[in-house]
Structure 1
């Protein structure tokens, strides 16, 4: 099942994408977290409309908590960036490295990514996002998938020079519009094994990242279990699981995003998240 949120005349509307089109959840609601918490397949109004006729919002239109993000979780990405950390390729984290994606960066499908004046090194990161469907704390690894509702995609946009100046990741990844999510949430039963999905990013049609989630250092179950240690997860929480190799900063020569670029992040069995980079103040 694909759960989405679109912009209706009276605000966000949660719907299901079926073979017939977009069908509103019944009773009408803009609260995707409540639908996720209820579990199962929601009832719909049975009045499909074409997908092309709606403007998609982030699958959860208004985040209740920041997205939990994971750094250095793909072996080849850790290898390509090892020199910047003065480490030898093949040196990987022993435990997951968590940080938060600031709620103010929230963005959605076709949303504009602003190339803020504070950065000259704007980069893309295609990431698989785990969506929590069941409340839990101290979740055993073997029960972790019981707490997963489904999956979506994030472009974990990053200002590399801001990261470098601040000496950590938060500020450079927290700027307005830097957290596109979408295009929808695909339920776990439909995705199947999320630890073996093709993942790709493209800039203006040129493939930049092309990998598989099987290169993750810590798999989905490990991430859910680890972050839940002393930390209660609730329905609608999201965990961005890291990005593979091929980011613009480490291309030779580096190839960062600029205004006018169209960036697409695609994950097998989920879909394509597409956004355009714009200059500050652009309409």
Structure 2
């Protein structure tokens, strides 16, 4: 089989950034608790861009065998999107909740489009692993439909959860006075949460990489996706602040203090 080149954005780098974003979801959730800094904005922006990229590739019929993936990604990634709904106030939480609900809907639409319009093109061509190597056929297509229906029901549940958590978590953290255990803090959750997420998601990651290798799929790197991922990590790592935009105040306050110190030195 000759190499198949598809649309940009699905290179090895892009795929592993997608997996890494999934593994950072627990830390993303913790980063927003009682935090009025927009720590989850980068996570939401990266997810929106990724889903738009998937949908555009699906509508252009440029995914080849990767059209098998959205239905399975739909099940796992809609759950991880909930990592981006937490905030220290209801206003920001509401925006994050609506944004997360939107990306869940977009994810589901992309999966249905992929199943209905892209997969039939691969009958007898697209290969995937399921207790041995299989070739996509009308029978397998119907089997995937059952999975897609269950995923859509699960996506609806996650959509409701996104709205509920975005409003409920700020209220809960305001009323809750007990200290969060150290292992549920943002920074410890980066390695711990990533390990748990990898334990859950490694079959899908392995299955994806097997499809890419078996069907000899190649894609160039989408650099905007890379920069958005960097922005996601950067906003997540900003220290939390319980005051409104306290992170901005810390950034702006330091130069002021330095300037005051210089003035005092000059007066002396």
Q: TM-score, normalised by structure 2?
A: 0.23
- Higher relative CO (Cα under 8 Å, sequence separation at least 6) belongs to 2
Higher percent of residues as strand: 1
Q: TM-score, normalised by structure 1?
A: 0.22
